[in-house]
Structure 1
Amino acid sequence: MMKKRCMALTLAAVMAFSVTAFGASNPAQNGKWESAYGNGTVSAEKEMYATTVRSMLSGNVTFTLPQEAQGKKLYLALVDTEDWLSGGEEAFYYGFLEEWKNGDMKMIYMKGEGNVFTVPLTEDTMELKVVYDDERKAGRSISLVALGGSQYADNLFAEYEDQLLVQDLISLYYRPDYKNEIEMVPCTIDVTIGADIMQVDGKSYPLDVPAYINDAGYTMLPMRALVENLPEEVQKKVIWDGQQRTALLLCGMTTYRLTDGQKEAEKDGQLWMLKSPLEIKEGRVFLPLREIVTFWDQSNIQWENETKTVHISADMVHFLE
């Protein structure tokens, strides 16, 4: 079974409020959707994983369904996010779905023909744990799609094309089992307060919003620009959930979850207290310098007061394949 190209839904003329379409450029995660059988919502708790080859990965999705949808079915599949968004063809991945109710597992849905999951809609709220059990691809992510078309019996989205339902529900990374599977990569970073460029290992990268010093006196650095411009060998990724105002980060072997305005964060799933929370300035996420350098086991900071420049040197993890 191969996926079809995404097409955004057409809003019904009678809608009195805006609806987030399922289209690839605007997925409906944590938003509203419509179908010929009424309107509902979908929300997703996305996670970033550092994993061994033998582990199984999962993400949680909650549907709020209109009464008209009951008796219909959802046809769901797992896809590689990058392949889907680029419009390439990709076979659906292996896995299974667990339906939960009030903290208890109600049903397990196994893959059908072509790795498609058929989920009957019987209630107004449905909680699914989506479990991925297929090939691990370092640095890639898995998205959940809803299949359209009348070839599926009682399909909730019979009148629509295949749609991206939750983007980047599960992100895939390797965590090595032994120390000899990694090496340390030295890196230098130079960021000047107010400058429109930063340097990583002597190479310049543009900043549309410069670093600054906040009211509490903390040096604030642009999170995405700093992480994504690290050396190519370094395992890294940033996912921003605008609905939850939460950043998910991977640096080396460590994953982080940080939320706007909150000092309580997570580091590899454990509580991690920040001296100062992340801040959003002109649409960009900034983190305090003192928190950013904890992303690496070995790092050193130097401050050049005359030029107001931060010099960071650090050893970063490179996974040996």
Structure 2
Amino acid sequence: MKGEIYRKGGEDDEKRCMALTLAAVMAFSVTAFGASNPAQNGRWESAYGNGTASAYKKMYSIYARSILVGYTKLTVPKEAQGKNLYLAMVDTELWKTKGTSEYFKGSLVEWENFQVKQVYEKDLQNVFKVPLTKDAITLEVTYLEDRGNQKVGQGISVVALGGNQYENNLFADQEDQLFVEDLIYLYLSPDLKHEVEEVPCTIDVTIGADTMQVNGKSYPLDVPAYINDAGYTMLPMRALVENLPEEVQKKVLWDGQSKTALILCGMTTYRLTAGEKEAKRNGDKVILNTPLEIKDGRVFLPLRDMVMFWDNGKNSWDASTKTVHISADLVHILE
């Protein structure tokens, strides 16, 4: 039976600067398979003994769209020390929907005080055994599978396996507990050659309405758009990105610890932080007219700024209906 899940805010992870072949960023969440609530601040905790076992990840800077390396910090209660964690890399969607996936090839390295402390070996099934000798460890996870058969937009998660088939397993009597969702995200890197096509997109957003229109189709909004104090239209972040035409590759990643959003859209990445006008587009600094905002626990994007970043992005305002009309060309990457 799965352990009870508690949602808590994450602690500040250790700051470190590591040279990567491919610089990357990934907002993250940690949950248990089957959990119904999204993670908050990048941390989920699973009840264990008199305490909790948890996994936590921090967002790093972005310069590319295909993330091959991710970092996670694991913490366990005192009674868990002396046990082993068995970690595997799995396909995010398969694991979330079916609870099963092949285990991918990769490497697992423990860092301590900005230095490599331990390189872990995997078994024939690509499962890593991690002895728990202290209450917290920081791990670098690298994806090493052949990229030729990857799916566009494939998420790779790390799961702590349950079951008594593993020696002295921390979760021997429980189902898989810690699930670090999309620790690695296999999007498309600029150096990979793919054909692309432009996808025309029109968006209509009315202030206070509970729907938005994309290419003439209506999509529900759980919270409406509003006009902020600076006079700019603010739209729920996930609604804007996830309701774009389905053939456009897109992804929304949120790090509640740093209040930073990473948005992947077509061939472009955006990094925005709440309260800051300085943002990044494909790693290059840009200045927003108004920053990303958090209101009533939801993240809102400055609609005008986002549209101006898109190719041929245009917007107009109908004062009589309080409706913003947007048109832009988005990119569809052909597989």
Matches within 5 A, 1:201-280: 201-280=215-294
Task: Confirm or deny that 1:50 pairs with 2:50.
Answer: no
Find the aligned partners of 2:194 and 2:4 in 1 and give their Cα distance: 53
Secondary structure of the structure 1 residue equivalent to 2:57: strand
Find the aligned partners of 1:271 and 1:123 in 2 and give their Cα distance: 40
Question: Can you give the 5+ residue segments of structure 2 that lack an aligned partner in the other structure?
Answer: 10-29
CA deviation string 1:180-200 (max 9, x = no partner): 721211111111222222111
* CA positional deviation for 1:309: 1.5
The 8 Å contact of residues 209 and 282 in structure 1, kept in 2 or not, is answered as no
* CA positional deviation for 1:306: 2.1
Tell me the matched-pair count. Answer: 306
Structure 2 partner of 1:107: 118
CA deviation string 1:25-84 (max 9, x = no partner): 158752433334853442112578623xxxx70111112333333322110011111111
Find the aligned partners of 1:111 and 1:266 in 2 and give their Cα distance: 37
Structure 2 partner of 1:4: none
Distance 1:99 1:270, change over 3 A: farther
Q: Give the stretch that moved more between structures: 33-42 or 111-120.
A: 33-42
Structure 2 partner of 1:166: 180
Task: Confirm or deny that 1:35 pairs with 2:9.
Answer: no
* CA positional deviation for 1:245: 3.7
Structure 2 partner of 1:86: 97
Structure 1 partner of 2:137: 126
Find the aligned partners of 2:300 and 2:38 in 1 and give their Cα distance: 25
The 8 Å contact of residues 27 and 165 in structure 1, kept in 2 or not, is answered as no
Distance 1:84 1:180, change over 3 A: closer
Match of 2:158 among 140, 144, 150: 144
The 8 Å contact of residues 171 and 177 in structure 2, kept in 1 or not, is answered as no
Q: Residue 104 of structure 1 aligns to which amino acid in structure 2?
A: Q
Structure 2 partner of 1:24: 34
Distance 1:77 1:180, change over 3 A: closer
> How big is the alpha-carbon RMSD for the aligned residues of Structure 1 and Structure 2?
2.9
The 8 Å contact of residues 58 and 255 in structure 2, kept in 1 or not, is answered as no
Find the aligned partners of 1:137 and 1:157 in 2 and give their Cα distance: 31
Distance 1:272 1:68, change over 3 A: farther
* CA positional deviation for 1:292: 1.3
Matches within 5 A, 1:286-297: 286-297=300-311
- TM-score (normalised: structure 2): 0.81
Find the aligned partners of 1:202 and 1:160 in 2 and give their Cα distance: 48
Distance 1:267 1:176, change over 3 A: closer
- TM-score (normalised: structure 1): 0.84
Secondary structure of the structure 2 residue equivalent to 1:42: strand
Structure 2 partner of 1:3: none
Secondary structure of the structure 1 residue equivalent to 2:162: coil
Question: Can you give the 5+ residue segments of structure 1 that lack an aligned partner in the other structure?
Answer: 1-6
* CA positional deviation for 1:252: 1.1
Secondary structure of the structure 2 residue equivalent to 1:45: coil
The 8 Å contact of residues 233 and 303 in structure 2, kept in 1 or not, is answered as yes
Percent identity of equivalent pairs: 58
Q: Give the stretch that moved more between structures: 29-38 or 93-102.
A: 29-38
